[in-house]
Amino acid sequence: MSTEVDIILRKYKPGRREDLIPLLQEIQDDNGYLSEDTIIKVGAFIGLSTTKIYGLATFYDQFRFVPAGKIQIKICHGTTCFLNGSQAIINKIKEETGLMPGQTGRDGIFSYDIVTCMGGCNNGPVVSVNGEYHPHIKPEQLPELIRKLRYIIEND
């Protein structure tokens, strides 16, 4: 039986190292993250060791190696958002969730990632919560937002 990863692999030619990043992106778009089994399978397909693939993939900060939380927070740290205070937002998210970018909490509720531009530069700093944009966000808004989101998940 074919897995979703096998179906994606069929679109590519084996042994082409230049396809590695687009291939990993497509698998992650489909599965939400790159599991260890996926890395092994892709390594065999492309002809690279798993160590080499992890090394290359971790260079690109968009790849995730653990499943995302139920609430996925993305914080834009692109130039405009940076100039508008995104670092204070990043610090506050760490403080509130205890997580580093790319991590998922043990309770599976939150994960967060830092991204480079979400196309809303005039509204920075921008945070997205499961795809919903929160423009002009301020650090002091985050504790309440996190509390509400946690409540929704825990009482769902």
User: How far apart are the C-alpha atoms of 89 and 141, rounded to whole Å?
Assistant: 10
How many positions of this chain bind ligand FES (CB under 6 A)?
12
Mark residues 20-59: x for contact with ligand FES by CB under 6 A, - for none: ----------------------------------------
Residues in 110-139 at the binding interface with ligand FES, rule: CB under 6 A: 117-121, 124, 126
User: How far apart are the C-alpha atoms of 15 and 131, rounded to whole Å?
Assistant: 35
Min dist. Cβ of residue 63 to ligand FES (A):
20
Tokens of 95: 């403080």
The interface region with ligand FES, picked from 15-23, 49-57, 72-80, 147-155 by CB under 6 A, is 72-80
Would you say 40 or 83 has its CB closer to ligand FES? 83
Would you say 46 or 89 has its CB closer to ligand FES? 89
What residues line the site for ligand FES (CB under 6 A)?
76, 78-81, 117-121, 124, 126
